[in-house]
Structure 1
Amino acid sequence: MTVITRYVVEHKGVEKFVTADKKEADQYDKMLDVADNLGEYIQGKGFTLDAQVLEDLSIMLSKNKDSLTKLLKGTTADSLLSSETAEVVEIDKKKA
């Protein structure tokens, strides 16, 4: 018999991530917390976005916080995008 330890990250009652690595689970949980804060900040600045778009945007910004910091310090988007593999987000053109 094998005993397997799994760490499950739940966010707003939904299972988002499962791993056997506690550090990885903690990092993912922290990323989701940062994304929540970004979403609140964006809404607080007066932007009204569809809830799913806001969540996707907030998570993307949170996952790419290091690149975002470089952009805020003056690095160009072209140089960052050419040096990293960008996550491609498909947009439902019917909703856009």
Structure 2
Amino acid sequence: MAVIPMWKCDRDGSMFSDKKAAEEHDKMLELAANITMLLEQTYDNIDEKIAEDIGLLFAKHKETLAKAIKGKPELVLEIGKESAADQSADEDSSE
């Protein structure tokens, strides 16, 4: 019987067969959590779920957002298109 090493992310329980991928995922989740905290500290009445969703969205697309901030603002619209497509796919799979 073969032994396959796996890495588990403490934050969400995701499992990875590659340590580097697990660490990158953990860093992404840490960034998302920090963005969520920033939103909750800045906006008293923000819904917790919405703050988490925004935090994950920004963390997942940090490279694109960095490019947008550095002078290519149109790239933000591509994130919106991807997110809408992802939500549509999620809704289709849950039916």
TM-score higher than 0.5? yes
Q: Output the CA distance in 1 between the equivalents of 2:45 and 2:71.
A: 27
**TM-score, reference length from structure 2:** 0.74
Contact 1:8 1:19 in 2 (8 A): yes
In the alignment, which residue of structure 2 is the partner of 1:62? 59
The Cα shift of 1:48 comes to 2.8
In the alignment, which residue of structure 2 is the partner of 1:53? 50
In the alignment, which residue of structure 2 is the partner of 1:94? none
Q: Percent identity?
A: 27
Q: Output the CA distance in 1 between the equivalents of 2:78 and 2:32.
A: 21
The root-mean-square deviation of aligned C-alpha atoms, in Å, is 2.5
1:79-90 to structure 2, matched below 5 A, reads 81=78, 86-88=82-84, 90=87
Greater alpha carbon shift after TM alignment, 25-34 vs 53-62: 53-62
Identify if the C-alpha distance between structure 1 residues 46 and 53 changes in structure 2 by more than 3 Å, giving closer, same or farther: closer
Aligned residue pairs, count: 86
In the alignment, which residue of structure 2 is the partner of 1:20? 17
Q: Output the CA distance in 2 between the equivalents of 1:78 and 1:68.
A: 7
Secondary structure of the 1:86 match is helix
- Are residues 1:44 and 2:41 paired? yes
| Runs of 5+ consecutive residues of structure 1 not aligned to the other structure | 92-96
Q: Could you give the per-residue CA deviations for residues 16-73 of structure 1, whole angstroms, max 9, x where no partner exists?
A: x211000000000000111111111112222532222211110110010111112222
Q: Which residue identity lines up with residue 29 of structure 2 in the other structure?
A: L
In the alignment, which residue of structure 2 is the partner of 1:9? 9
Contact 2:68 2:76 in 1 (8 A): no
**TM-score, reference length from structure 1:** 0.73
